[in-house]
Each structure stands twice: as C-alpha cells, then as structure tokens.
Amino acid sequence: IYTYREAGRDLTDGEVPQRIQVLPTSANYFEMWGISPLLGRSFTVDEEREDANVAILGYRLWQSHTGGDRNVLGTTIRLDGAAYTVVGVAPAGFRDVAGGDVDAWVPLDLREGEFSRQNHFLSLIGRLERGVSVEQAQSYVSAMNARLVEEYEEIGDTQLMRVVSLHDDVVGSADTMLRMLMGAASLVLLIACVNVANLFLARSMGRRREIAIRSALGSGRARLVRQFFAESLLVAAIAGLAGLVVAHLGVRFLLSISPDAVARAQEVGLDGRLLVFAAGVTVLTALLFGLVPALRGSRVDLTSDLREGSRGTAGGKRSTRIRTALVATQVALALVLLIGAGILIKSFAALQGQDYGFDSSDLLTFEVHLPDTRYEDPALRVDFHQRFHERLRSIPGVESVAATSWLPAAGPYHDWGFNYETPDGNRDWEGAQMRIIEGDYFETMGVPLLTGRTFNEGDGEDAPPVMVISETAARIAFPDQDAVGGRFYSADTVRTVVGVVPDVAYDARGSRKSKIYIPHTEFGDDRNWALVQVVKTKSGLGILPQVRRELDAIDPELVIYRARTMEQVLGRTMESERFALTLMGIFGAVALLLAAIGVYGILAYSVSQRTREFGIRMALGATTGAVRRRVLAQGAVLAGFGLVTGLLGAFWLSKLLQSMVFGVSVTDPLIYLLVTLCLAAVAMAAGYVPARRATRVTPMQALREE
C-alpha cells in the first residue's frame, strides 16, 4: 500500500533546505518488488502501526546527502522539521515503477481509525496468482466494492477500486503514441530497405557479365546467392553500428527536449536487450534488401549475358518493373509518413493556439509546502498565506498574487461529488473538479466574473460556507434560474453559491467540466494542501531572489520548488504531443530524403543504360528539351503511381491517429494536397539532374561507348 499524495518532503539538514520525493509505503513494499536494501533493512509491521519516524534512503540521496557513507544507518535526517532515523539504503538503479525517482521511503501510517473512508488517495500494488487475469481480479474487487457500499452508506454508489495491469498504469495513454511511433520507425526502415534493395538490384544487373563468367566457371546459384547476401549483411552490419551511435545521440536529444513525455523514458539506454534487438533487425534488414537482388542477380543466361557485356540493357523488362515498383513503394510510404507528420503539426498548432479560458501571460508559479509538524492548525496555514501574499505584493513589478490547489490546464485533479436541489425538490449528484484558492485568484488568472461576487475577507471558517462555480456547473444544477444563492451539499456541509465564472480548461486539450472553487480560509482540512502560488508579474523568474527573501522573513526553513512561468507549465502538459511531433517530423524528413534518392537513383541508372538511345535520338533531330521531358516523364510516372498508392494508404492509416489529434480532421484535404504537391515537387527535382545529364550525350559519345 502506498500513496503519492504526500510524496514530497522538505529535507532541512543541509545549509539550504531542499524538496525531495518521499514515498509513504506499507512495510512489505520492498518485499513485494523482490528487492532487498543495499544497506540495513526494510520496514517492520510494527513501524507502520506506530507512526514510527524511520526512513530508507534512495541510492541517489544517499550519495548526494551523505557522500555514500556506509555508516549512515542509525543517523537521522530531518524531513519537514521532524527527525527520522535511517534504517536502510535502497540499491542503485531501483526506481518506483509508477512514481519514478524516489529519494526516501517512510512507513505509511496504517493505524486503525487514522484514515477516513472518504480519503480515496491510497493505491495498492500486488501480484496476481498464476492463472488469474486482471478481469477476474476486477470482478472480485467489484463484488467487494458492492458489499462496502451496502455496509457504509456514506460512501455512496461509487466504484472505490479499479484493477489495472502495471503496464497500463505506467504507460497509460502513451501506449497509442508509442505504437504509432514504432509503426512510423518501421516504415522508415522499410523505405530504407527498399532504397538499398533497388540500388543492389541495379548493381547486380550491371554485374551480369561477371556473374555469367562465375557461373560458367562452375559457381552454382546457391553460392551466388550466398555471395550477394554476404554483401548485403556487410552493408547492414556497418549501417547497424552507425545506427546505434545515432540512436544513442538521438535518445539523449529527445529526452533533453521532452524529459517527461514518456513514463520511465530516462531509463532508456543501449543495454543488452537493445543490442540483441538491433542485431536481429540488422539481419532482418539484410534479408529485406538483399533477397530480391540476390535471387534476380543469380539468375543468368550464359549466352546473352556474356555477349551483352557489362553495360548493355537494363537487365530486361522484368527487372525494370521491379525497380519501378520499388521506387513507387518508397514514394507511397514517404507520403504516408509526411501526411501523418502534417496532421500532427496542425494538431499541435491548434493545441498551442486554443483558448484555455484564462490569461497565461506574465504569470509566475511556484510551490511552498507547509509541513504539518509546524502548520498543523488550519489557522496557521491561512495566516501564512495572507502574510506571504502581503509581502509578495510589495515586490516592485508584482501586480497581483493568488494561490490554488491545482493550476488550470495542468490535468484533472481532485474530483469532488456534490448534491444539489432540483426544481421538483429532489436532489441530484454532480461530479466536479474542486479547487482551493487564496488571494486574488480570478483577477490574477484573468478569469472574469459572470455574476455574483468572488471571495472576500468576510468569508472564513466562522462564516457560512460559500463557493464560486463554473458555467457548466451552474447550467447543470440551476438550468432555469440564477445560480447565485443556490446550494450544494457535500457530506455535512451546505455551501451557498456566491458567484459564477466562465469554464476554464483542466488539461492541455482544453477539456472542460464542472468546476467549483472554495476559499482556503474555509477549508479546515487536516491535510496540507500545498498551494501553488501564482504571481502576476512581467519579471517572470527574475523575481525569485526577492520571493526567497520575503519567504525567509516568515520561515527560512520553507522551500520554493517547481518555479515556472505559466507558459512553461502549459508547455510541459504538451510534452507527449511535442515528443511525437518531433519524431514524426524526423521520420518524415528522412522518408522524403530517401524517396528523393530513390527517384534520382533509378532515373540516373536508366539514363546510364540508355546512353546509346539518347544519342541516336538527338542525332535524328530530337531537341535537348524533348530528351529532358522524356526522362522527367518517366520520373513523373514513377512518382504518380507512388502518390496515388500513398494517398490511399494514408487515408486508411491516418484513422489510427484519431485519438491523438486535436482540432483537426485526420482526412483534412488541405494537408493531403500540400503534402502531395511537396513530395511531387521533390520527386521532380530529384529527376531533373539525370534528365539534364541525358541531354549532354552526343551521338559520337554514345557510339564510342558502345
């Protein structure tokens, strides 16, 4: 059993207090993972029932805070001002699968009566018995949930527990994105294989006389195939080694621009499994681009091939059709990737340009955690925020100050259920996102008041409970009347609506739902509610030293952490989209380059094989323009077949992107048109150089070469 709700603590041992990740867990946490501490021991059952102040240090904190002192056991560290005895050190490389880098673990307080059935913040992780599926476990849990709902009426008719696999919990919504990127990478690999296969096929056709001589001297076809495959494997091996270097540098680059885009992405590296995978892909690649050339090149006609010489024809109509089909395939696959990249680009632009319902400009955000050891009384927390905000307002350049339990557009957080009276006198239920706010929140965030009022000094613990609600909540609960004065019921509390504000997005996609705002002065919960401070200032992060001085004047042991501008907060919420867009853009660019190389390659080879033809045509009066157009027409036919096939493939495959895009249709005709024209232009540009070379052939050159 563990909880991420209180995962942060202030480490106040050093000269400068710092915020670290601390995970409260049950005693069997390490045992469940099959992990033994590097030093010391795990927690005992008695420690989780006695609220014991003991801690197990993470390897990283052990190194940074104690210098790797192996005599650390029995020493104390101060977390939120309280002394904790170190009883163990976690092994190097151990990370909590879902929580990531944890600096220390402490026992979760599991004393009877310590938790309310309303506190739905605990998580459990366990191993299923062999043969038991996730679905079977969910059926058991659902039945247990039904019994709890029947026994404890205050729970309400809600699903308390949901069973998910560890993979789904960690990967979550990124699964679709990762599969899409894997598919895109496979398409790029396929395009590269097709390109190299075409080059090898052309090379094998140019070696027909050599192969015929080898065959005449006794080399069997199997031996010739092995020779071709050995050459393919050598090229693939060199490319594979180069690819590993590029992969290592590329992964570091992608993680530097989107560090939190994918769960556990920081663990990605060139380990043994990846090397085995790379070796397998290398062999598969050699088969893909080496098999067709090997089979075609090893098929000889001794009489014609020996008479034909090393140049001659292009190797027959069949070989020409194969090479043409391969180039058309390259163009088609490149078009699919480029259309996918175009869709993601337009979707990302729509994300960045949407209206979140608040003004994100000139906002500085940061967090200050108030430890329960010194701020257990709710009145102390209220007093701190009021004093702190007063000091912040005195900083030059600060326009307004506020605080909130969760920033808008930063993702869903803290759903709360409320009952409200319907016109017929009955009560209905509404789930809403709840935010605890302090100070001039709506003014600071640029959220206008639609009706009623916001909170004032008269709202407090001794005053009647009040709330401000969003438009959606007002429309649902009070569809035909003024919401101001309406009442919401939660547990034993009745709250009166004093104001209505517009809907504000709760995630990066601009999703909106009912939202309620409660003044911090009225929220006497025994939990910390570490509020996010929001400061309206054009100075941004530049005023942090002044903020630090003002905080030191109140409590020098408190830590400022996660200091970011609101624009940076919004940027982090789009990291998955930015990560996918960056990769798709790279894949699309590589595919475009490979397609251009493919078109250039086959036209250049065709021109080299048709030297005599072009010379004779020009001797008979053909103009250079006519010859150039003839070569370009061949390239246009190649590209045309590929573009038509690619459009059909893109139309079918783009539906897989539907769940990932925002504000754009996956069949947007403008994207399809622009990408098609772009690829067609690149293909024609790639064909221009061979076409120009064809016009430089003179009849004397053609006859002399023959």
pLDDT band at 492 (very low <50, low <70, confident <90, very high): confident
587, burial (CB in 10 Å: exposed 0-12, middle 13-18, buried 19+): buried
pLDDT value of position 142: 86
For the ranges 299-303, 364-368, 591-595, 611-615, the maximum mean pLDDT occurs at 364-368
Q: Which pLDDT score is estimated for 116?
A: 58
pLDDT single digits (tens) 352-400? 888 899 999 999 999 998 888 888 888 888 899 999 999 999 999 999 9
In whole angstroms, what is the distance from residue 72 CA to residue 62 CA? Answer: 8
Taken in order 160, 163, 166, 168, is the CA torsion positive or negative? negative
pLDDT tens figures, 425-439: 666 777 788 899 998
Q: What does the block give as tokens for 644?
A: 């038509």
The two three-digit tokens of residue 186, written as one number: 């496979």
- pLDDT above 80: residue 626: yes
Q: Which of 64-78, 309-323, 466-480, 572-586 bottoms out in mean pLDDT, i.e. has the lowest?
A: 309-323
Residue 526 has pLDDT above 50, yes or no: no
Tens digits of residue pLDDT in 113-161: 555 555 566 788 888 888 899 899 989 888 888 887 777 765 555 556 7
∠ CA 614-618-622, nearest 5°, is: 110
Distance CA 197, CA 345 (A): 32
Domain locations along the chain: 8-127, 174-352+583-705, 370-558
pLDDT of residue 166: 83
Q: What angle do CA 194, 196, 198 make, to 5 degrees?
A: 70
CA distance linking residue 631 with residue 638, whole number of Å:
11
Burial grade of 636 (CB within 10 A; 0-12, 13-18, 19 or more) = middle
- Residue 218 confidence (pLDDT): 67
| Cβ–Cβ under 8 Å, residues 202 and 313 | no
Averaged pLDDT for residues 603-615:
74
Q: Which residues contact 582 (CB under 8 A, 6 or more apart)?
A: 254, 257, 258
Per-residue pLDDT, averaged over 422-427, amounts to 66
Three-state secondary structure call for residue 81 = coil
C-beta separation of 518 from 348 below 8 A = no
> In whole angstroms, how far apart are CA 559 and each of 53, 100, 122, 366, 425?
21, 21, 26, 10, 49
Mean pLDDT of the chain: 82
pLDDT exceeds 60 at position 6: no
* DSSP 8-class letter at 658: G
Q: What pLDDT, on a 0 to 100 scale, did the predictor assign at position 182?
A: 87
Q: How far apart are CA 561 and CA 21, in angstroms?
A: 12
Q: Express each pLDDT in 199-248 by its tens digit.
A: 777 776 666 666 777 676 666 667 777 777 788 888 888 888 888 888 88
In the chain, the amino acid numbered 423 is P
pTM: 0.76
Q: Is the pLDDT of residue 468 over 90?
A: yes
Percent of the chain at pLDDT exceeding 70? 84
| CB-CB neighbours of 406 under 10 Å | 17
Q: How far is CA 154 from the centre of its chain?
A: 39
CA dihedral 57, 59, 60, 61 (to 10 degrees): 20
Is pLDDT of 338 > 80?
A: yes
Closest CA to 619 of 510, 504, 542, 701: 701
Kindly report which listed range (221-225, 313-317, 518-522, 617-621) carries the lowest average pLDDT score: 313-317
How far does the chain reach from its first CA to its final CA, in angstroms? 83
pLDDT at residue number 697? 66
pLDDT in the model for residue 313: 47
Q: How many residues does the chain have?
A: 706
pLDDT bucket at 298, cuts 50 / 70 / 90: low
**Of the ranges 310-314, 533-537, 699-703, the best mean pLDDT one:** 533-537
Q: Is the pLDDT of residue 449 over 50?
A: yes
Check residue 637 and give its pLDDT. 85
Q: Which residues contact 592 (CB under 8 A, 6 or more apart)?
A: 334, 338, 679, 682
- 174 vs 400, residue with greater confidence: 400
Per-residue pLDDT tens digits for 251-275: 777 777 665 666 666 667 677 788 8
Average pLDDT of 539-561? 93
Where b means 16+ CB within 10 Å and e means fewer, 5-28 reads ebbbbbbbeeeebbbbbbbbbbbe
Q: Which residues make beta-bridge pairs with 418?
A: 430
pLDDT for 286 equals: 79
The secondary element (H helix, E strand) that includes residue 166 is: helix 166-171
- The residues, ordered by sequence, that sit 6+ positions from 115 with a Cβ below 8 Å of its Cβ are 122
Q: Which of 685, 686, 679, 688 is nearest to 332 (CA)?
A: 679
The angle, 0 to 180 degrees and rounded to 10, between the axes of the packed helices 575-609 and 566-573 is: 60
Helix/strand/coil percent split, the chain, to 5: 50, 15, 35
* Overall average pLDDT of the 679-701 stretch: 79
Q: Is the pLDDT of residue 312 over 50?
A: no
Is there a contact between 705 and 309 (Cβ–Cβ < 8 Å)?
A: no
Strands 466-470 and 451-452: unpaired
User: pLDDT at position 158, please?
Assistant: 58
